[in-house]
Amino acid sequence: MGFAPAPYPAEEDYIVSFSEVDINIDRGVVIRAGSRVVLSRPEFELLKFFLVNAGRDLSRDAILQAVWSGLADPNTRTVDAHVMRLRRKLEPEPDCPRHFVTLHKIGYRFQP
């Protein structure tokens, strides 16, 4: 399946879809296979960052700066832990991710 905005259900809603996941960016709602998925604020912000940067190689430091700037002491393990949570919640097979891909010694790439 491709990565493309779905039709707008209402003027204020912007929906992005990949695989069996639909994300209402404006409302902060994530649906996977027809069921709502609850994401923490940092998880949702990380997901949005991945969506905007789909297909790009992203370093852990770049992700930290974009998503966790302003936190007292974030580190690259923060990124790893949140990516793992996104995988568990959104990947069809979390142990064999196809959307949230690890780039060894680099960081991550989101593959819609």
Which one is predicted more confidently, 11 or 21? Answer: 21
Q: What percent of the chain stands above pLDDT 70?
A: 85
Residue 99's pLDDT is: 97
**Domain locations in the chain as residue ranges:** 4-110
- The answer to whether residue 1 scores a pLDDT higher than 70 is no
pLDDT digits (tens, 9 = 90+) for 18-59: 999 999 999 999 999 999 999 999 999 999 999 999 999 999
Look at residue 100 and give its three-state secondary structure: strand
Top-level class of domain 4-110: mainly alpha
Name residues whose C-beta falls within 8 Å of residue 17's C-beta, 6 or more positions apart in sequence: 1, 3, 4, 5, 6, 23
State yes or no: pLDDT of 70 exceeds 90: no
Map tokens 């905005």 to a residue: 5
* pLDDT at residue 76, rounded to an integer: 75
Query: Quick one: CA torsion of 11, 54, 2, 47, rounded to 10 degrees?
Result: -60
